[in-house]
Amino acid sequence: MRPPFAFDRPMEITSVEGDSSTTHFVHTDVVNWVLLEQDGQLTLIDGGYPGQAAQVVESIRRIGRHPSDIAGALLTHAHVDHLGGLAKLQSRFGFAVYMDPVEVDHALRHHLQQADAFDLAPLAGQLRLWSWLAKTTPLGVLSRKGLSAAHPHDRVAGEGAALDLPGSPVPVASHGHTDGHSAYLVADGRALVSGDALISGHEISAIAGPQCTPSPFQHDEPTARRSVERFTELDADLLLAGHGPLYRDGVADAARRALSSTYSPNPRTWTVPRPSGVRRPPYRPGGSHPAAE
Ligand SMILES: [Zn+2]
Protein backbone atom coordinates (compact mmCIF):
# COMPACT_ATOMS: atom_id res chain seq x y z
CA MET A 1 0.00 0.00 0.00
CA ARG A 2 1.28 3.49 -0.78
CA PRO A 3 1.93 5.89 2.09
CA PRO A 4 -0.51 8.83 2.29
CA PHE A 5 2.04 11.32 0.97
CA ALA A 6 4.16 9.24 -1.38
CA PHE A 7 7.45 10.93 -2.25
CA ASP A 8 8.77 8.37 -4.66
CA ARG A 9 8.58 10.95 -7.43
CA PRO A 10 11.67 12.14 -9.25
CA MET A 11 13.39 14.99 -7.45
CA GLU A 12 16.60 16.83 -8.23
CA ILE A 13 18.29 19.25 -5.83
CA THR A 14 20.79 21.81 -7.08
CA SER A 15 22.69 23.77 -4.43
CA VAL A 16 24.19 27.22 -5.00
CA GLU A 17 26.72 28.51 -2.49
CA GLY A 18 26.43 32.18 -1.57
CA ASP A 19 28.56 34.41 0.66
CA SER A 20 26.73 33.50 3.86
CA SER A 21 23.97 31.10 2.81
CA THR A 22 23.23 28.19 0.49
CA THR A 23 20.30 28.11 -1.92
CA HIS A 24 18.84 24.69 -2.71
CA PHE A 25 16.62 24.49 -5.79
CA VAL A 26 14.32 21.45 -5.61
CA HIS A 27 13.02 20.44 -9.03
CA THR A 28 10.26 17.86 -9.47
CA ASP A 29 8.33 16.80 -12.53
CA VAL A 30 5.28 18.84 -11.54
CA VAL A 31 6.44 21.88 -9.55
CA ASN A 32 9.53 23.24 -7.79
CA TRP A 33 10.39 24.78 -4.42
CA VAL A 34 13.47 26.39 -2.86
CA LEU A 35 15.26 26.10 0.48
CA LEU A 36 17.56 28.87 1.77
CA GLU A 37 19.97 27.61 4.41
CA GLN A 38 21.91 29.87 6.75
CA ASP A 39 23.48 29.04 10.12
CA GLY A 40 21.45 25.84 10.42
CA GLN A 41 18.13 27.56 9.77
CA LEU A 42 15.91 27.44 6.70
CA THR A 43 13.59 29.59 4.66
CA LEU A 44 11.23 27.47 2.57
CA ILE A 45 9.90 29.18 -0.57
CA ASP A 46 6.72 27.44 -1.80
CA GLY A 47 5.94 23.83 -0.93
CA GLY A 48 4.45 21.83 -3.80
CA TYR A 49 1.04 20.20 -4.08
CA PRO A 50 -0.78 18.94 -0.96
CA GLY A 51 0.34 15.42 -1.90
CA GLN A 52 3.98 16.53 -1.99
CA ALA A 53 4.29 17.51 1.70
CA ALA A 54 6.31 14.37 2.46
CA GLN A 55 8.50 15.08 -0.57
CA VAL A 56 9.25 18.55 0.80
CA VAL A 57 10.25 16.92 4.10
CA GLU A 58 12.40 14.47 2.16
CA SER A 59 14.13 17.33 0.32
CA ILE A 60 14.93 18.95 3.68
CA ARG A 61 16.30 15.65 4.97
CA ARG A 62 18.50 15.31 1.87
CA ILE A 63 20.23 18.62 2.57
CA GLY A 64 20.89 17.41 6.10
CA ARG A 65 18.29 19.42 7.93
CA HIS A 66 14.89 18.89 9.63
CA PRO A 67 11.56 20.73 9.14
CA SER A 68 11.93 22.10 12.67
CA ASP A 69 14.83 24.15 11.21
CA ILE A 70 12.36 26.20 9.13
CA ALA A 71 12.50 29.71 10.59
CA GLY A 72 9.83 30.98 8.19
CA ALA A 73 8.36 30.34 4.77
CA LEU A 74 7.65 32.50 1.74
CA LEU A 75 5.00 32.03 -0.87
CA THR A 76 5.35 33.24 -4.44
CA HIS A 77 1.59 32.95 -4.88
CA ALA A 78 -1.37 31.05 -3.47
CA HIS A 79 -2.04 28.46 -6.16
CA VAL A 80 -2.55 24.92 -4.90
CA ASP A 81 0.66 23.55 -6.43
CA HIS A 82 2.78 26.06 -4.48
CA LEU A 83 0.69 26.38 -1.31
CA GLY A 84 -0.69 22.86 -0.71
CA GLY A 85 2.37 21.13 0.72
CA LEU A 86 3.34 24.29 2.58
CA ALA A 87 -0.07 24.36 4.31
CA LYS A 88 0.41 20.81 5.57
CA LEU A 89 3.89 21.57 6.88
CA GLN A 90 2.69 24.82 8.44
CA SER A 91 0.03 23.03 10.47
CA ARG A 92 2.50 20.33 11.54
CA PHE A 93 5.56 22.45 12.34
CA GLY A 94 3.99 25.83 13.13
CA PHE A 95 6.23 28.24 11.18
CA ALA A 96 4.93 31.55 9.81
CA VAL A 97 4.30 32.01 6.07
CA TYR A 98 4.93 35.42 4.47
CA MET A 99 4.01 36.80 1.06
CA ASP A 100 3.22 39.94 -0.91
CA PRO A 101 0.60 41.89 1.08
CA VAL A 102 -1.83 41.64 -1.85
CA GLU A 103 -1.61 37.83 -1.81
CA VAL A 104 -2.56 37.35 1.85
CA ASP A 105 -6.34 37.22 1.30
CA HIS A 106 -5.84 34.82 -1.59
CA ALA A 107 -3.76 32.47 0.56
CA LEU A 108 -6.48 32.56 3.22
CA ARG A 109 -9.01 31.71 0.48
CA HIS A 110 -11.10 34.82 0.96
CA HIS A 111 -11.14 34.61 -2.82
CA LEU A 112 -9.65 32.29 -5.40
CA GLN A 113 -7.77 33.14 -8.60
CA GLN A 114 -7.24 29.65 -10.01
CA ALA A 115 -8.10 28.34 -13.44
CA ASP A 116 -11.34 26.41 -13.49
CA ALA A 117 -12.80 23.84 -15.88
CA PHE A 118 -14.04 26.62 -18.14
CA ASP A 119 -10.55 28.10 -18.50
CA LEU A 120 -9.14 24.69 -19.43
CA ALA A 121 -11.94 23.74 -21.84
CA PRO A 122 -10.09 25.06 -24.93
CA LEU A 123 -7.35 22.48 -24.20
CA ALA A 124 -9.74 19.54 -23.93
CA GLY A 125 -8.58 18.16 -27.27
CA GLN A 126 -4.93 18.09 -26.24
CA LEU A 127 -3.42 14.95 -24.78
CA ARG A 128 -1.05 17.07 -22.68
CA LEU A 129 -3.95 18.35 -20.58
CA TRP A 130 -5.16 14.86 -19.71
CA SER A 131 -1.67 13.61 -19.00
CA TRP A 132 -1.12 16.55 -16.63
CA LEU A 133 -4.49 16.04 -14.89
CA ALA A 134 -3.79 12.32 -14.45
CA LYS A 135 -0.54 13.21 -12.74
CA THR A 136 -1.73 16.14 -10.60
CA THR A 137 -5.18 14.98 -9.48
CA PRO A 138 -3.76 12.42 -7.01
CA LEU A 139 -1.47 15.19 -5.72
CA GLY A 140 -4.47 17.37 -4.85
CA VAL A 141 -4.89 19.76 -7.78
CA LEU A 142 -8.61 19.92 -6.94
CA SER A 143 -7.97 21.11 -3.39
CA ARG A 144 -9.15 24.62 -2.57
CA LYS A 145 -7.86 24.71 0.97
CA GLY A 146 -5.80 27.74 1.95
CA LEU A 147 -3.29 28.48 4.69
CA SER A 148 -4.47 28.65 8.30
CA ALA A 149 -2.45 31.87 8.76
CA ALA A 150 -0.72 34.18 6.29
CA HIS A 151 1.33 37.34 6.82
CA PRO A 152 2.58 40.19 4.60
CA HIS A 153 6.33 39.96 4.17
CA ASP A 154 6.88 43.49 5.45
CA ARG A 155 6.41 41.91 8.91
CA VAL A 156 9.92 40.52 8.50
CA ALA A 157 11.49 43.55 6.78
CA GLY A 158 15.25 43.43 7.26
CA GLU A 159 18.18 45.52 6.10
CA GLY A 160 17.60 47.40 2.87
CA ALA A 161 15.20 45.51 0.64
CA ALA A 162 16.04 42.10 2.14
CA LEU A 163 13.78 40.17 4.50
CA ASP A 164 14.97 39.14 7.93
CA LEU A 165 14.83 35.43 7.14
CA PRO A 166 17.61 32.88 6.51
CA GLY A 167 19.24 33.63 3.15
CA SER A 168 18.04 37.29 3.19
CA PRO A 169 15.63 36.94 0.25
CA VAL A 170 14.60 40.16 -1.53
CA PRO A 171 10.97 40.34 -2.73
CA VAL A 172 10.43 41.35 -6.36
CA ALA A 173 6.76 42.22 -6.88
CA SER A 174 5.62 40.48 -10.05
CA HIS A 175 1.87 40.79 -10.05
CA GLY A 176 -0.36 39.40 -12.76
CA HIS A 177 -0.17 35.61 -12.64
CA THR A 178 -2.11 36.27 -9.45
CA ASP A 179 -2.82 39.75 -8.11
CA GLY A 180 -0.12 39.50 -5.44
CA HIS A 181 2.48 37.25 -7.05
CA SER A 182 6.02 37.88 -5.82
CA ALA A 183 9.39 36.60 -6.99
CA TYR A 184 12.43 36.60 -4.68
CA LEU A 185 16.07 37.41 -5.35
CA VAL A 186 18.27 34.94 -3.46
CA ALA A 187 21.90 33.78 -3.32
CA ASP A 188 23.16 37.37 -2.88
CA GLY A 189 21.23 38.46 -5.97
CA ARG A 190 22.63 35.71 -8.19
CA ALA A 191 19.32 33.85 -8.59
CA LEU A 192 15.66 34.72 -8.99
CA VAL A 193 12.96 32.47 -7.54
CA SER A 194 10.38 33.43 -10.13
CA GLY A 195 7.35 31.31 -9.16
CA ASP A 196 4.92 31.26 -12.05
CA ALA A 197 5.69 34.78 -13.26
CA LEU A 198 8.36 33.25 -15.52
CA ILE A 199 8.77 29.51 -15.96
CA SER A 200 11.26 27.31 -17.81
CA GLY A 201 8.86 24.60 -18.93
CA HIS A 202 5.39 23.19 -18.25
CA GLU A 203 3.81 19.87 -19.08
CA ILE A 204 0.80 21.59 -20.62
CA SER A 205 2.92 23.85 -22.82
CA ALA A 206 3.95 22.82 -26.30
CA ILE A 207 7.19 24.79 -26.10
CA ALA A 208 10.38 24.16 -24.15
CA GLY A 209 12.53 26.70 -22.34
CA PRO A 210 11.75 30.02 -20.68
CA GLN A 211 8.20 31.17 -21.21
CA CYS A 212 5.28 32.93 -19.61
CA THR A 213 2.84 30.59 -17.89
CA PRO A 214 0.20 29.31 -20.35
CA SER A 215 -2.72 31.72 -20.69
CA PRO A 216 -5.46 29.62 -19.03
CA PHE A 217 -3.51 29.82 -15.76
CA GLN A 218 -2.88 33.58 -15.82
CA HIS A 219 -5.26 35.71 -13.77
CA ASP A 220 -4.27 39.01 -15.42
CA GLU A 221 -2.16 38.37 -18.49
CA PRO A 222 -1.27 41.98 -19.50
CA THR A 223 -0.05 42.74 -15.97
CA ALA A 224 1.84 39.44 -15.86
CA ARG A 225 3.58 40.36 -19.11
CA ARG A 226 4.66 43.73 -17.72
CA SER A 227 6.19 41.91 -14.75
CA VAL A 228 8.24 39.74 -17.12
CA GLU A 229 9.32 42.90 -18.98
CA ARG A 230 10.74 44.21 -15.69
CA PHE A 231 12.69 40.97 -15.23
CA THR A 232 14.72 41.94 -18.33
CA GLU A 233 16.37 44.60 -16.13
CA LEU A 234 17.68 42.09 -13.55
CA ASP A 235 21.26 40.84 -13.74
CA ALA A 236 20.75 37.57 -11.83
CA ASP A 237 22.41 34.57 -13.51
CA LEU A 238 20.10 31.77 -12.44
CA LEU A 239 16.38 31.34 -12.93
CA LEU A 240 14.78 29.11 -10.28
CA ALA A 241 11.29 28.85 -11.77
CA GLY A 242 8.13 27.40 -10.30
CA HIS A 243 7.95 24.96 -13.18
CA GLY A 244 10.70 23.58 -15.36
CA PRO A 245 14.43 22.99 -14.86
CA LEU A 246 17.13 25.33 -13.55
CA TYR A 247 17.98 27.89 -16.22
CA ARG A 248 21.57 29.15 -16.16
CA ASP A 249 21.73 31.66 -19.01
CA GLY A 250 20.52 34.68 -17.09
CA VAL A 251 17.16 35.91 -15.89
CA ALA A 252 17.10 38.81 -18.35
CA ASP A 253 17.72 36.41 -21.24
CA ALA A 254 15.00 34.08 -19.95
CA ALA A 255 12.57 36.99 -19.71
CA ARG A 256 13.34 38.13 -23.27
CA ARG A 257 12.87 34.60 -24.57
CA ALA A 258 9.57 34.29 -22.74
CA LEU A 259 8.28 37.56 -24.14
CA SER A 260 9.03 36.41 -27.69
CA SER A 261 7.60 32.90 -27.25
CA THR A 262 4.24 31.62 -28.31
CA TYR A 263 2.30 29.21 -26.18
CA SER A 264 1.29 26.54 -28.64
CA PRO A 265 1.72 25.42 -32.25
CA ASN A 266 -1.90 26.42 -32.55
CA PRO A 267 -2.16 29.72 -30.67
CA ARG A 268 -5.87 29.91 -31.37
CA THR A 269 -6.43 27.18 -28.83
CA TRP A 270 -5.27 29.57 -26.13
CA THR A 271 -7.56 32.41 -27.04
CA VAL A 272 -11.01 30.86 -27.39
CA PRO A 273 -13.27 33.47 -25.78
CA ARG A 274 -15.94 32.58 -23.28
CA PRO A 275 -19.39 32.63 -24.93
CA SER A 276 -20.94 36.04 -24.35
CA GLY A 277 -23.04 36.23 -21.23
CA VAL A 278 -21.37 33.21 -19.63
CA ARG A 279 -19.57 34.11 -16.46
CA ARG A 280 -17.28 32.16 -14.19
CA PRO A 281 -19.34 30.78 -11.28
CA PRO A 282 -18.60 32.54 -7.99
CA TYR A 283 -16.10 30.93 -5.66
CA ARG A 284 -17.74 29.02 -2.82
CA PRO A 285 -15.50 27.93 0.02
CA GLY A 286 -15.76 24.18 0.34
CA GLY A 287 -17.09 23.72 -3.18
CA SER A 288 -15.13 21.82 -5.78
CA HIS A 289 -14.46 22.15 -9.40
CA PRO A 290 -11.23 21.55 -11.28
CA ALA A 291 -8.62 24.02 -10.26
CA ALA A 292 -5.12 24.44 -11.58
CA GLU A 293 -1.99 26.42 -11.28
ZN1 LIG B 1 0.41 29.50 -10.39
Residue 293: band (very low, low, confident or very high) from pLDDT cuts 50, 70, 90: low
Residue 128 placed within a domain: yes
Q: Residue 177 Cα, ligand 1 centroid: separation in angstroms?
A: 7
Residue 21 placed within a domain: yes
Q: Residue 288 Cα, ligand 1 centroid: separation in angstroms?
A: 18
Residue 193 placed within a domain: yes
Residue 292 placed within a domain: no
Q: Residue 292 Cα, ligand 1 centroid: separation in angstroms?
A: 8
Residue 196 placed within a domain: yes
Spatial neighbors of 50 by CB under 8 A, at least 6 apart, are 80, 84, 85, 87, 88, 139, 140, 143, 145
Percent of the chain past pLDDT 90, that is, above it, reads 71
Q: Report the CATH number at residue 235.
A: 3.60.15.10
- Nearest-angstrom CA–CA distance, 72 and 256: 32
Residue 186 placed within a domain: yes
pLDDT digits (tens, 9 = 90+) for 9-53: 789 999 999 999 999 999 999 999 999 999 999 999 999 999 999
Q: Residue 77 Cα, ligand 1 centroid: separation in angstroms?
A: 7
pLDDT digits (tens, 9 = 90+) for 234-291: 999 999 999 999 999 999 999 999 999 855 434 444 433 343 444 444 444 444 334 4
Q: Is the pTM of this model over 0.85?
A: yes
pLDDT over threshold 80, residue 91 = yes
Q: Residue 185 Cα, ligand 1 centroid: separation in angstroms?
A: 18
Return the amino acid letter for 189: G
Residue 279 placed within a domain: no
Average pLDDT over residues 95-120: 91
pLDDT at 121: 80
pLDDT at 114: 81
Q: Residue 82 Cα, ligand 1 centroid: separation in angstroms?
A: 7
Q: Residue 1 Cα, ligand 1 centroid: separation in angstroms?
A: 31
Q: Residue 72 Cα, ligand 1 centroid: separation in angstroms?
A: 21
pLDDT at 8: 63
Residue 256 placed within a domain: yes
Spatial neighbors of 79 by CB under 8 A, at least 6 apart, are 113, 114, 178, 196, 217, 292, 293
Residue 127: band (very low, low, confident or very high) from pLDDT cuts 50, 70, 90: confident
Number of folded domains in the chain? 1
pLDDT at 262: 57
Structural domain including 170 reads 11-266
